[in-house]
Amino acid sequence: MANLKRFTGKTVIVTGGCRGIGLSIVERFANEGARVFALDYVIPESGTQLFDNEELNSLTSYLQADVTKEESVKAAIDEILKTNPKIEILVNNAGITRDNLVLRMTEADWDSVLSTNLKGAFICTKVLVRTMMAQRFGRIINIGSVVGTMGNIGQANYSASKAGLIGFTKSIAREFASRNILVNCVAPGYVRTPMTEKLSDDVKQNFMNSIPLKRLAEPSDIANVVCFFASDDASYLTGQLVHVDGGMAM
Ligand code: NDP
């Protein structure tokens, strides 16, 4: 990893930041000097210490929040604002899967995926964007998925939620551009995380066959691009979708 400190003095919120891709994003921002708050549904066993590294732990905090509930997100963000009056970067990363063929998919499976993956991003953005507007500075990065573009058997709910995030990204990019709030979407392919570990070997092999680079992504592959979008190097980019998928969608 490059030894950059691009985010010293910046405050970052990462939803679903206690494990998987979110944890890697938290680590990367903290390594680059940011003060990072991970908002997550369940308290990890390690409590508030996310890393084995004192410096990283001093820059990172964990707050319980359910992204599907506006009052829960607002309570967490109000808590952060007490000590950090500016919040520059939001990463809408929290996401779930409830896979099934449409004929077997329950309405509850549909609703919970749309609610977490799409409505969750709307709620977090809505709660935080006033602060960003007042600052005349903000970077919002939504974590989509390659299946939001390509579709996938058994993931009608998930791919609809991720396709919805693309439209959401472009709409709010237009809405907030005049306030210097840039909004982009990073769409991972198949990443090695707890979410994908539970897939069957057959499904994993099928995925592998469709990846031109013939390897799974590591969470850090995604974190690198998220941090690029949050950095000054991306200050003329908004409303963009970047696939980080080893070439699956091209
Ligand atoms: P994980 O399941 O490993 O982590 C997801 C995180 O989101 C968990 O910490 C989870 O919390 C949290 N979360 C779930 N629901 C809520 C909620 N209502 N409120 C707050 N936090 C919540 O997933 P990944 O790291 O694999 O995925 C991260 C993002 O990347 C997701 O948006 C996913 O769709 C996307 N993605 C992942 C891919 C992959 O291959 N892994 C591929 C493409 C996209 P808890 O543990 O407490 O439930």
Atom of ligand 1 at shortest range from CA of 162: 34
Find out whether the beta carbon of 211 lies less than 6 Å from any atom of ligand 1: no
Identified catalytic residue from 41, 158, 190, 236: 158
Q: Whose C-alpha lies nearest to ligand 1, atom 8?
A: 16
pLDDT of 49 reads 77
Find out whether the beta carbon of 45 lies less than 6 Å from any atom of ligand 1: no
Question: For 53-104, what is each residue's pLDDT tens digit?
Answer: 999 999 999 999 999 999 999 999 999 999 999 999 999 999 999 999 999 9
Question: For 11-49, what is each residue's pLDDT tens digit?
Answer: 999 999 999 999 999 999 999 999 999 999 986 766 667
pLDDT of 106 reads 98
List, in sequence order, every residue forming a beta bridge with 188; answer none if it has no partner: 244
Question: Directed axis angle between helix 156-176 and helix 120-135, to 10°?
Answer: 20
pLDDT for residue 2 is more than 70 = no
Q: Is 158 a catalytic residue?
A: yes
Atom of ligand 1 at shortest range from CA of 72: 19
Find out whether the beta carbon of 155 lies less than 6 Å from any atom of ligand 1: no
Instruction: Tell me the CA–centroid distance for residue 114 and ligand 1, in Å.
Output: 13
pLDDT of 203 reads 79
H or E element at residue 186: strand 181-188
Instruction: Tell me the CA–centroid distance for residue 178 and ligand 1, in Å.
Output: 31
Question: For 105-151, what is each residue's pLDDT tens digit?
Answer: 999 999 999 999 999 999 999 999 999 999 999 999 999 999 999 99
pLDDT of 114 reads 98
pLDDT of 170 reads 98
Other C-beta atoms lying within 10 Å of the C-beta of residue 224: 17
pLDDT for residue 1 is more than 60 = no
Long-range Cβ pairs for the range 77-80 (8 Å, 24+):
77/13, 77/127, 77/128, 77/131, 80/11, 80/13, 80/37
Find out whether the beta carbon of 172 lies less than 6 Å from any atom of ligand 1: no
Find out whether the beta carbon of 24 lies less than 6 Å from any atom of ligand 1: no
CATH tag for 11-243 (out of 2.70.50.60, 3.40.225.10, 2.40.30.10, 3.40.50.720): 3.40.50.720
Nearest to 13 by CA among 31, 1, 25: 25
The torsion angle over the Cα atoms of residues 85, 126, 30 and 147, rounded to 10 degrees, is -170
